């Protein structure tokens, strides 16, 4: 599987350092706010588990699964909730953990939804920000890395369901795409 990678963009060490840095900021910003930390499945699962271990204040964790992409590499623009949260966001300080913001449609939908559900505040922490492709004006509050406009895999991010378990973020060799 590692052989399919053309280039590593962010190593496991790079990601660990950035999670430590963001965890510190989140700890300071959310002291005494008992945030509800929401992981967007499946892509954010590795980032969620690393970032919450760097948050040194009381918080609760919940999980939501949404789909906008199916197996395609382009956003369909519509977001479907596959698995909703277990708890109510009403009056809660919600911190969304996401793997990557691309067009922003997924996050815009979730921010609007949590607003409708009367969350006290909604902030976004994303490992990667692919700003160039933004069509919705979503602004993440915590960003790991600003990523160029290339399709990336690893550390939660997949191509046709694979590569999520790589400990780093990288770019696939072009022949991997032509084989599919
Ligand atoms: P939007 O466009 O709604 O999309 O911001 C966010 C979701 O799109 C997926 N995505 C990617 N997945 N490599 C991936 O594996 C990428 O380069 C990439 N760009 C977008 C991702 O699931 C994210 O949650
Ligand atoms: Mg995702």
75-97 pLDDT, tens digit per residue, is: 556 788 999 999 999 999 999 99
**118 C-alpha vs ligand 1 centroid, how far in Å?**
27
* Cα(12)–Cα(20) distance, integer angstroms: 12
Q: Is the pTM of this model over 0.90?
A: yes
* Cα(166)–Cα(92) distance, integer angstroms: 33
**42 C-alpha vs ligand 2 centroid, how far in Å?**
6
Pocket test for ligand 1, best of 45, 72, 99, 113 (most atoms within 8 A of CB): 99
pLDDT digits (tens, 9 = 90+) for 33-71: 999 999 999 999 999 999 999 999 999 999 999 987 554
Which positions are annotated as active-site residues?
102
Average per-residue pLDDT in the chain?
94
**96 C-alpha vs ligand 2 centroid, how far in Å?**
12
Which is more confidently placed, 168 or 135? 168
Domain 12-150 in this protein, CATH class: alpha beta
Nearest ligand by distance to the CA of 100: 1
- ipTM strictly over 0.90? yes
**Nearest alpha carbon, ligand 1 atom 17:** 151
Q: What is the pLDDT of residue 81?
A: 92
pLDDT digits (tens, 9 = 90+) for 68-78: 755 455 555 67
* Cα(55)–Cα(26) distance, integer angstroms: 7
Q: Where are the domains of the chain?
A: 12-150
Nearest to 36 by CA among 105, 123, 107, 140: 123
Mean pLDDT across the stretch 5-29? 98
Mean pLDDT across the stretch 120-140? 94
Cβ(22)–Cβ(125) below 8 Å? yes
Helix H, strand E, coil C: the string for the chain is: CHHHEEEEEECHHHHHHHHHHHHHHHHHHCCCCCCEEEEEECCCHHHHHHHHCCCCCCCEEEEEEEECCCCCCCCCCCCEEEECCCCCCECCEEEEEEEEECCCHHHHHHHHHHHHCCECEEEEEEEEECHHHCCCCCCCCEEEEECCCCCCEECCECECCECCCCCCEEEECHHHHHCC
Of ligand 1's listed atoms, the one at least distance from the Cα of 130 is: 19
Nearest ligand by distance to the CA of 154: 1
Q: What is the pLDDT of residue 180?
A: 67
């Amino acid at each position: 599987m590692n052989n399919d990678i053309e280039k590593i963009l962010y190593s496991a060490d790079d990601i660990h350092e950035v999670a430590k840095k963001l965890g510190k900021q989140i700890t300071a910003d959310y002291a005494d706010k008992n945030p509800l930390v929401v992981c967007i499945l499946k892509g954010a699962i590795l980032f969620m588990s690393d970032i919450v271990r760097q948050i040194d204040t009381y918080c609760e964790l919940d999980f939501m699964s949404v789909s906008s992409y199916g197996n395609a590499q382009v956003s369909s623009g519509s977001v479907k909730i596959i698995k909703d949260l277990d708890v109510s966001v009403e009056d809660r300080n919600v911190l969304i953990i996401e793997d990557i913001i691309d067009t922003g449609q997924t996050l815009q939908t979730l921010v609007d939804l949590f607003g409708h559900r009367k969350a006290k505040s909604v902030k976004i922490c994303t490992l990667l920000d692919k700003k160039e492709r933004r069509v919705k004006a979503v602004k993440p509050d915590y960003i790991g890395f600003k990523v160029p406009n290339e399709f990336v895999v690893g550390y939660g991010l997949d191509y046709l369901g694979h590569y999520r378990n790589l400990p780093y973020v990288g770019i696939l060799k072009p022949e991997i795409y032509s084989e599919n």
